[in-house]
Structure 1
Amino acid sequence: MEGLEEVEYEALPPNAGLGVSMMAGALAGITEHAVMFPVDSIKTRMQVFATSPAAVYTGIGNAFTRISATEGARALWRGVSSVIMGAGPAHAVHFGTYEAVKEFFGGNVDGGRNQWIATSVAGASATIASDALMNPFDVIKQRMQVHKSEFRSALTCARTVYRNEGLNAFYISYPTTLTMTVPFTAVQFTVYEQLKSFLNPSGVYSPTTHIISGGLAGGVAGAVTTPLDVAKTLLQTRGSSSDPEIRNARGLRDAFRIIWKRDGMRGFARGLAPRVLTFMPSNALCWLSYEFFKAAIRDH
């Protein structure tokens, strides 16, 4: 480990191959999502417009205590199998696309004038590609996370949703997901790259730098895009709702209208605290894992 810490990883070929970036991204993605999954489950439940008082939570602590007491702590992990199946390939595509596009636009050139543009375009491009792959897995995950979900298997959930609602159910939220995650990723990658350059100008391997930069970047991006995440959750879980208006929602406009009608402005902040709480450590862990795996793979 000491030897690895001395590697000037920024001095290594910045585009050492898509295989390195994709493998590092896959390992980082699985690590990130698995560790923070219980908090993500709480976020999903807080965002759902529930008809039963038993499914309404006032905060993270309240949700954790009540879910653990009534359903058992294992309920907080329901749907993690879908994330593990999808996160590896999706993050591999994400980081592979990011590194390739950043290199193409000259983002790896020291002192390049278009570095900010390159990282923003690379981040947005990476999201478009990875979300196309991840969206169905995210739908399955959220269907399994909701209160009193009937599903215990990701495969059973996928089959049931497909049989009852068709292929469209897995992608009805994709435009909303892109509307949210393109700016999320552009903000995240830009803030991360700028903070990393500021905190680590020497370019030596620095875990502390990746933790701080990744955590702050994730927190900022997560908070800014929470309203769109509430809309995405409504669309992805509509098939599990007994509310006719929610079940008939057709896209972002319908979701926004329902949120505003039911809860006003505060409805768009549903799940804000667990979302930020999820993204700060998970993003820090993701970037730390990604940079570590990237440096380790290159070094060996």
Structure 2
Amino acid sequence: MNTLSLEMEEILDHEYEALPNSSLAANLIAGAFAGIGEHTVMYPVDSIKTRMQILNPGKQAIYTGVINAISRISSTEGVRTLWRGVNSVILGAGPAHALYFGTYEFCKDLFGANATQGHHPFATGAAGAFATIASDALMNPFDVIKQRMQVHGSKYRNVLECARSVYAREGLIAFYISYPTTLTMTIPFQVVQFSSYEYFRKVLNPNGQYDPKTHVIAGGLAGAIAAAATTPLDVAKTLLQTRGNSDDLRIRNCNGLLASFRLIYERNGLKGFLRGLRPRVLTHVPSTAICWSMYEYFKWFIMSHDRNQIPDKLHITQ
């Protein structure tokens, strides 16, 4: 009868959550697919969120809610408008998320989150912070282009035209003017998201086996909590990234987080910091669930394939 050697048994019995640490390639590939899937599926809702956060949207771009926005945009500008700028996300999300998850898995292991069982909120939170610093440096220019194309009345026909126009009118700094604000938002967002996700995942699935339902639920809950907590910072980021499209000199000359906070408060009071809260949460609940479930699936698929390629020499015959 054929039996597996002790080495083979240890590999097969190893918990799923520890498998990806042995393969950087698996993390990068899975992260790229997850990023593209997350951003493209929920892109129309993200477009609505961007429009609802702009301070001077004009009479034609004032919406009472998500459903109202979808109806008005579809009837006056066409359904395709909701997807305008999606190519920028596709171009940036793949490599940015590959770097994002690769950095996260490396730092999580480095900080000892995989060494022992139990919850490690500080280790996973710190790993998430380092991951977003790296990925946002790559993604920020694509995000600027995306939001310029999402605003009402955007004349850009494609991503390249938008990039050239922004660079010609505002210079290279336009693509990174919001980067400090982005990090101010995304670092706490990712700290909350990764810590919450790891917590819910371990509570729902203490055995650590691959379970799609667990990844969807844990991802959705983590996305909702993180999105709601960081909405004020997202409003400020949107103001900075779309300032070049505004005819308002105060907005065009807004040059940082504090300046954007002051302007938002002057124009809309405290409620101004919650603009776009609902579409933001509606975006992040399914998008984070999609992202984590796709990431965990591709990790499982790649690592399962790798395990099946283990040489026959690991087997012994009795």
TM-score range, shorter chain: over 0.9
Which of 193, 212, 215 is the aligned partner of 2:220? 215
Post-superposition, which runs of at least 4 consecutive aligned residues in structure 1 deviate over 6 A?
none
Which of 144, 149, 153 is the aligned partner of 1:148? 153
* CA offsets 1:133-180 (integer angstroms, 9 cap, x no match): 000000000000000101120011001000100000000000000000
Change (3 A) 1:138 1:71: same
> Could you list the runs of 5+ residues in structure 1 that have no partner in the other structure?
1-5
Q: Secondary structure at the match of 1:15?
A: helix
Distance 1:7 1:242 in 2: 62
Counterpart for residue 103 of structure 1:
109
Deviation at 1:190, TM superposition (A): 0.2
Q: Which amino acid is the alignment partner of residue 57 of structure 1?
A: Y
Distance 2:145 2:283 in 1: 19
Deviation at 1:202, TM superposition (A): 1.1
Q: Indicate conservation of the 8 Å contact 2:20/2:299, yes or no.
A: no
Which of 269, 275, 278 is the aligned partner of 2:274? 269
Q: Secondary structure at the match of 2:147?
A: helix
Which of 287, 290, 295 is the aligned partner of 1:290? 295
Counterpart for residue 55 of structure 1:
61
Which of 232, 237, 242 is the aligned partner of 2:242? 237
Which of 274, 281, 288 is the aligned partner of 2:286? 281
Matches within 5 A, 1:1-300: 10=16, 13-111=19-117, 115-300=120-305
Deviation at 1:111, TM superposition (A): 2.4
Distance 2:278 2:241 in 1: 20
Deviation at 1:50, TM superposition (A): 2.2
Change (3 A) 1:126 1:261: same
Q: Secondary structure at the match of 1:249?
A: coil
Q: Secondary structure at the match of 1:13?
A: helix
Deviation at 1:9, TM superposition (A): 5.3
Q: Indicate conservation of the 8 Å contact 1:55/1:147, yes or no.
A: yes
What is the root-mean-square deviation in Å for CA atoms of aligned residues?
Answer: 1.4
Q: Secondary structure at the match of 1:108?
A: coil
Deviation at 1:7, TM superposition (A): 8.9
TM-score by length of 1: 0.95
Change (3 A) 1:112 1:191: closer
Deviation at 1:282, TM superposition (A): 0.4
TM-score by length of 2: 0.90
Distance 1:195 1:22 in 2: 23
Deviation at 1:95, TM superposition (A): 0.1
Q: Which has the larger radius of gyration?
A: 2
The percent of aligned pairs where both chains have the same amino acid is 62
Distance 1:157 1:91 in 2: 23
Change (3 A) 1:98 1:51: closer
Matched length = 294
Mean Cα deviation higher: 81-90 or 54-63? 54-63
Q: Indicate conservation of the 8 Å contact 2:96/2:135, yes or no.
A: yes
